């Protein structure tokens, strides 16, 4: 009974990783080709191939085999290295620079004082 519970949890983890890989694949497909070159990363086509293979491996093979783990590593590399660089090149919203969460369009809100 314990083994079946572990397999059930592992199958949910594998499904979640597969869905996340598919989301990262869509994210990579929607980025511009020149952003990859400007960020000094590999080409868009290469990352699409990596992520398509990783997504397919996560949906087709059991997680405890060798190939899906390589796919997970490819998705992690895209998530923590390539995606932030593409966002920075594309001028995406980064962390706020200075100011407060109560700042309005004309300066800080002072409560009507």
What's this model's pTM, rounded to 2 decimal places?
0.72
Query: Do 52 and 25 form a contact (C-beta atoms < 8 A)?
Result: yes
How many CB atoms sit inside 10 A of residue 23's CB? 14
d(CA 13, CA 9): 6
At residue 102 the predicted structure's pLDDT band, cuts being 50, 70 and 90, is low
The mean pLDDT value for 77-102 works out to 75
d(CA 56, CA 40): 27
Tokens 């979640």 — which residue?
A: 16
d(CA 50, CA 76): 11
């Amino acid at each position: 009974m314990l083994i079946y519970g572990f397999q059930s949890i592992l199958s949910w983890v594998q499904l979640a990783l597969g869905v996340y890989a598919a989301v990262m694949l869509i994210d990579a497909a929607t980025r511009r080709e020149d952003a990859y070159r400007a960020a000094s990363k590999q080409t868009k086509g290469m990352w699409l191939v990596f992520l398509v293979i990783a997504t397919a491996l996560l949906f087709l093979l059991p997680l405890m085999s060798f190939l899906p783990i390589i796919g997970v590593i490819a998705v992690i590399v895209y998530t923590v290295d390539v995606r932030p660089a593409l966002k920075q090149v594309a001028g995406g919203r980064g962390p706020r620079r200075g100011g407060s969460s109560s700042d309005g369009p004309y300066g800080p809100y002072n409560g009507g004082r």
